[in-house]
Amino acid sequence: MPLHRSSVRRYLEGPGLRPSSLTAVFLMREEDSEGVGPMPTVTVREIPQRIRELEGAGIRSVKVFAGSRLRDSNASQGAAPTGLMMRAIRAVKGTAAAMAVMTETCLCSHTDSGECFVRRTPGGDIDMRVSCEAIAEQAVAQAVEGADIVGPAAMLPGSVRAVRQALDESGHSDVAIMPHVIFASSLYAGYRATMRAVPASGSRPFQISPVRPEQAVSTGLDYLREGADMLLLEPALASVDTLVRLKAVAPSVPLVPFSVSGEYLRLAVAGEDGKRDTGVLGEAYTMMARSGADGIITYGALDLARSLTAG
């Protein structure tokens, strides 16, 4: 068989993984605070330089996570126009208007409990109506500042519908919604520690058990019926079967795996110089792309994009 020749193999290769299919992650911190936790963080002042680096490497999108310095039981600062998330969005769009901005739209980095919801009373039942309203208010505030895709991440039933209604009623019907479909996992520990989003209860009750892939598919389809435009799947490597099944039943819906903090820390091993080797990530993401992923969100986006275009 002549297909073993390297020149023929290169000729027959598909598009493979491309820098433009990668989304970089910005975990935001205030200028006067030190980074805490294992994950790299970004300040608003650093955003212009980071965006120029991403553009130079061919990356066209960022996913922004940001919390509030002042937190309370109602996540009241989550939609504040002076909040860190809003300042970060403005900084990205002020540097590169064409850069697609995705946001996390959740309460866990704004509540004093680290939970993704508001309770009726301290330690009491979850107030679903108030929680969904707070998430929807965040989404509108993010859209006002220029967010292109908002990301409800609490997995509360009805939250996507509340966000869609709020965006439409506020004149932001062109802002897309990409809710998170989340399997429970220890791989989020690095993110939670860095963003101070560790739930006081010790768990996220609405996240999906890893042994229930059918629930993940059902949840994703529910989100689409509520008004979602696309779906984020996490952790990326633990969601490949869900990705394949969702692509089969909803082929026109963009599906985007999120390679979370634990995957980055374990698979992009740091050398003695501190630089992380993204080779294994590249292999994993290529597998996700051929499984139907329309894009991949990753902490290793910049280094991986540079390696893809090297030489």
Instruction: Return binding residues for Zn(2+).
Output: 106, 108, 116
86 C-beta neighbours (distance < 10 Å), count: 21
From residue 263, alpha-carbon distances to 183, 195, 298, 304 in Å are 14, 17, 9, 14
How far does CA 3 lie from the centroid of its chain? 39
* Signed CA dihedral, 251, 156, 187, 23: sign only: positive
Q: Are strands 255-259 and 296-298 parallel, antiparallel or unpaired?
A: parallel
Tokens of residue 14, six digits:
């598909």
Tokens of residue 252, six digits:
């026109």
Residues 29 and 122: their CA atoms lie apart, in Å, by 28
3-class secondary-structure state, position 43: coil
Tokens of residue 81, six digits:
């126009």
Omega before residue 122 within 30° of 0, cis: no
Whole-angstrom distance between the N-terminal and C-terminal Cα of the chain? 30
Binding-site positions read 106, 108, 116
